[in-house]
Amino acid sequence: MRIVRSVSDVRAAVREARAQGATIGFVPTMGAFHEGHLSLMRAARAAHDLVVVSLFVNPTQFGPSEDLAAYPRDEQRDAQLAESAGADILFAPSPAEMYPDGFATRIHVAAVTDVMCGASRGPEHFDGVATVVAKLFGIVAPDAAYFGQKDAQQILVVRRMARDLDIPVEIVACPIVREPDGLAMSSRNVYLDAPARERATALHRALAAAEAAVARGDVTADAVLGAARAELAAADIQPEYLDLRSPDDLTEVDAVAPVALLAVAARVGAARLIDNTILESH
């Protein structure tokens, strides 16, 4: 695996691979790798000749009061893990390489960014995501890009952006990878002290309680959200949001008929955590 710092070096490596007929799989990340990230890399490895992973803690998607400075960074460890998961190129640019002096463009995806994390973190968050992912697609020009369903809203934003900007890339959504006790893996889980780590399992229990309600035939939003909220309350967690929405466009739905996205965000101890599940009523 090669570690590459400049846009021009990534382009050259991709051009060379393409000239030999290679297909390109791409995994954008902010590093601090865990099994969730590695599952995306393995999926890309299984389907493509050249696997490019980007490691860039993107400053434009962090709000002024968020954790940009504290975000966990360990490039050496990440490089070893990426190589073991089958990456060929680790693109780890500096902020100045991605945002040189005079950088003046911002991509805003409307509608799907008004709710959930767009509402609680502010519109800048998804503008930052859409802008950096559009840049990365322009740099890497992959055939397919791999994203985690854990960030369900992010996938919708990226799909809409790629479609609207006619970027010819297949967006592949991969399943949420969890700890043995159900907590969704996240780079931010390192912020959890022992009591918070214990309480954090309530997010997954809340989703499971909603799934159980649907399995019993309780498919209304009231029943589903009530079951989930009870689990959060038992762990003394007040969610930033707990929403039942269409998985296609994030409009609110009043029942699981026949599918719905149940998504939650909550501050637990020092970490802001998100999780979700797709509920199916048939």
Number of residues that bind ligand AMP (CB under 6 A): 17
Q: Does 82 bind ligand AMP (CB under 6 A)?
A: no
- CA torsion 202-207-212-213 (nearest 10°) is 110
CA distance 107 to 157: 11
Select the residue whose beta carbon is closest to ligand AMP and give its number.
148
Contacting ligand AMP within 88-147 (CB under 6 A): 147
37 is catalytic: yes
Q: Which residue of 10, 13, 38, 177 would you call a contact of ligand AMP, by CB under 6 A?
A: 177
Residues 24-53, one symbol each (x = binds ligand AMP by CB under 6 A, - = not), give -----xx-----xx-xx-------------
The HSE-up count of residue 30 (CA atoms within 13 Å, CB side) is 20
CA distance 36 to 41: 9
Q: Which residue of 87, 141, 161, 184 would you call a contact of ligand AMP, by CB under 6 A?
A: 184
* Residue 182, phi-psi category: left (phi > 0), alpha (psi -120 to 50), beta (remainder): left
Whose Cβ is closer to ligand AMP: residue 128's or residue 239's? 128
Point out which residues pair with 86 in neighbouring strands.
none
Q: Which residue of 51, 134, 169, 185 would you call a contact of ligand AMP, by CB under 6 A?
A: 185
Whose Cβ is closer to ligand AMP: residue 189's or residue 219's? 189
CA distance 250 to 109: 13
Catalytic residue among 37, 48, 125, 204: 37
CA distance 156 to 147: 10
Q: Applying CB under 6 A, which part among 172-180, 197-205, 218-226, 241-249 lies near ligand AMP?
A: 172-180
Q: Omega before 247 cis (within 30°)?
A: no
CA distance 177 to 165: 30
Q: Could you tell me the smallest distance in angstroms from the CB atom of residue 81 to ligand AMP?
A: 12
- Sites of contact with ligand AMP (CB under 6 A): 29-30, 36-37, 39-40, 147-148, 150-151, 174, 176-177, 184-187
- Active-site residues, by number, are 37
